[in-house]
Amino acid sequence: MRNEIVPPVPLRPILRLGSLAHSVLAPGARGSVLAATSSATYLSAGDQGLLWLTTEQASLHRRGMQVAGPLPRLSPGTGWAVVGRRLDLGHRESFDLSGATVWEADEACLESVLPLTRLPAYLSAVSPVLARLPSPVGFGLLLPAILARIEYRPSPRMIAEPAPSLRRAWPAIRDVRDACLADDLPGAFARAEQLVGLGEGLTPSGDDFVGGLLYCLQRLRRAHPSLGPLDPLDLHFFLQYAEPRTNLISYTLLRDHALGHACEVLHKFVDGLMAGQALEGMERSATRLIGVGHSTGWDLLCGVVVGLMSTCGALAPRLSDQAGLAQPLLS
């Protein structure tokens, strides 16, 4: 009997690695495929949770790997292993790790951030830019109502037939927003619990909104240490509540956001806001953000805006207490 010659598996390059993926993918590391979609392949990595493969067009995350060309088609349960500087996925897909560059989010530059006293005015200035972004989806349809509390604005345009998820989400989003405006972060955490798991898909809109909110709050505190850290017990109990109420992929992202880790495009958007970036630059940054996923970018953006409203507490007495201002949106 002749020995069958198996052709070598062609290596494809991994172009960029997130910092966590780089540390996890050491020689000898192994695990299995959790799930595969058209936009990402999710790898279970033991105690480190999840990593994922994406195309080079996707925004990089500390858990992510950008590959050249199309994503592999793999079934859940397929094994993966790192051999030297090669990532093998099953028997037919191998990737070269040796030339990948490593991405890590920059620390906030304290010299470039706006003073806290100027952030509310900047948010007011940038809000019309955000409100006119094209083709909102998901919670992006609620953005005019969210922004309406910053200062008096005309009633937002009406949504003729709001999706059930929007009707369910709006009271909680409104309450989270108003708690942030009152600088009542424990109250915001409590109301945000109602949004966990709300929506469809791998990352429900409610999770993405809360993720944007928590990431913004963490980033604000890194840029402005005088604010003090978020209460670790509040975070612990919130995440403990959230874990069984959503799926593993969405919870992993939500937890990373809560701990101050985000994808590259969200990171740049939030830092641009905190630095008072020129409005044209913020429009470009916001446009890139809303391009993430179907509605994920919009949901994240709305959460960030609400998080930034926590700097507006000093303005609360002069804000119109018109929760009904946004009601026509859902008529």
DSSP string, 13-61: EEEEEEHHHHHH--TT-EEEEEEE-SS-EEEE-GGG-EEEEEETTSPP-
Burial class of residue 139, CB neighbours in 10 A (0-12, 13-18, 19+): buried
pLDDT tens for 103-140 read: 998 886 666 899 988 999 999 999 999 999 999 999 99
What amino acid is encoded at 273 in this protein?
L
Q: What is the largest CA-CA distance in the chain?
A: 88
Please name which of 48, 14, 82, 27 lies closest in space to residue 261, comparing C-alpha atoms.
48
Reported as a single tens digit per residue, the pLDDT across 140-188 is 999 999 998 776 455 555 565 677 889 899 999 999 999 999 989 999 9
Mean pLDDT over the full length of the chain: 88
> What pLDDT score does 149 carry?
79
Average pLDDT over residues 83-96: 93
Residues near 212 by beta carbon (within 8 Å), at least 6 away in sequence: 257, 266, 299, 300, 301, 302, 303, 304, 306, 307
Residue 139 DSSP label = G
- pLDDT, position 165: 84
**Tokens 């409610």 sit on residue:** 206
Which residue in 38, 70, 37 sits closest to 55, CA to CA?
Answer: 70
User: Which among 121, 123, 89 has a CA at the least distance from the CA of 9?
Assistant: 89
pLDDT tens digit sequence for 302-328:
999 999 999 886 444 444 444 333 444
Phi/psi class of residue 283: alpha, beta or left (left: φ > 0; alpha: ψ in -120 to 50)?
Answer: alpha
Does the structure show a pLDDT above 80 at 2?
no
| pLDDT confidence band for 8 (50 / 70 / 90) | low
| pLDDT at res. 320 | 41
Q: Would the pLDDT of 87 be above 60?
A: yes
Tokens of 121: 């005015």
pLDDT band at 329 (very low <50, low <70, confident <90, very high): low
8-state DSSP, 201: S
Residues 24-44, mean pLDDT to the nearest whole number: 95
